[in-house]
Amino acid sequence: MRFTLLTLFPEPIDAYFASSIMARAVQKGLVQYRCVNIRDFALDTHRTCDDAPYGGGAGMVLKAEPLAAALDSVGAAGLHTIYPTPAGRSLTTALVEQLGAHEELVLICGRYEGIDQRVIDLYVDDEISIGDYVLSSGELAALVIVDVLYRHLDGVITRESLQEESFQDGLLEYPHYTRPEVFRSRGVPEVLLSGHHERIREWRTQQRIDKTRRARPDLYEAWLSRSAPDGKE
């Protein structure tokens, strides 16, 4: 899968693609990425990319011309182009699956109050929000979208890791422990040391149910009604 990101701040993007599991995915050829600096397409000697909003109001707006030129330079018109914005539709597991069907995605990292609406009208196929809060950096939101997509590609992480994760079946994850067996006087749940795989499996499932009930009553209720429509657990 190929990711093309347009940004005024390439450093955090480059750092992310050069780190850890993503770095390995790039090295293995499972992920390709391009990072384009919108400022390279600015028209004036000051390389201006923002301006005051028509109609007045707070903040600045990312100008249309440099962003459109940057989009043209990557062939965005023929590619699925995403603008991450708190004004978009919600990123869900279902949307992640749809996006994963594209061989290449273009992501516009906004800054300031937003980007000129005409660029959205002309180039953007999908406006996506990663949650009900406002980030100052479109880079973070774009990388969240990249991250949730690439980890599902074959060969990035093991199938078991994916299967055991939170949300896979509507429950949150069970707690994890590793050595040492005692840390600051705190031990490890006895069952995990027992070698009894069936009991371990049952304990983990119960932990997931308890954790979900406490942390996410909304998910817990949904899980309950799916697993026991008549109200029994």
In a 13 Å sphere around the CA of 139, the CA atoms on its Cβ side amount to 16
Q: Quick check: 69 binds ligand 6GU (CB under 6 A)?
A: no
Provide the residue count of the chain.
233
| Helix residue ranges per DSSP H, the chain | 10-17, 20-27, 64-73, 93-99, 117-123, 138-150, 159-163, 190-193, 197-215, 217-227
85 lines the binding site for ligand 6GU (CB under 6 A): yes
Q: Is 72 left (phi over 0), alpha (psi -120 to 50) or beta?
A: alpha
Count of CB atoms situated within 10 Å of the CB of 195: 8
Cβ distance to ligand 6GU smaller for residue 54 or 133? 133
Using DSSP bridges, classify how beta strands 61-62 and 50-51 pair: parallel, antiparallel or unpaired. Answer: antiparallel
Per the listing, tokens 């384009």 go with 36
- Applying CB under 6 A, among 36, 108, 130, 156 the residue interacting with ligand 6GU is 130
| Smallest distance, ligand 6GU to C-beta of residue 122, A | 20
Binding test (CB under 6 A) with ligand 6GU, winner from 131, 175, 187, 217: 131
The residue among 120 and 130 lying less far from ligand 6GU, judged by its C-beta, is: 130
Considering the complex, what minimum distance in angstroms separates the CB of residue 210 from ligand 6GU? Answer: 30
Residue 81 sits in the site that holds ligand 6GU (CB under 6 A) = no
6, 38, 141, 209: which one binds ligand 6GU (CB under 6 A): 141
Binding residue count for ligand 6GU, defined by CB under 6 A? 11
Examine residue 114 and tell whether it contacts ligand 6GU (CB under 6 A): no
- Reference 221, options 185, 171, 176; nearest CA is 171
Residues within the interface to ligand 6GU (CB under 6 A) = 84-86, 129-131, 133-135, 138, 141
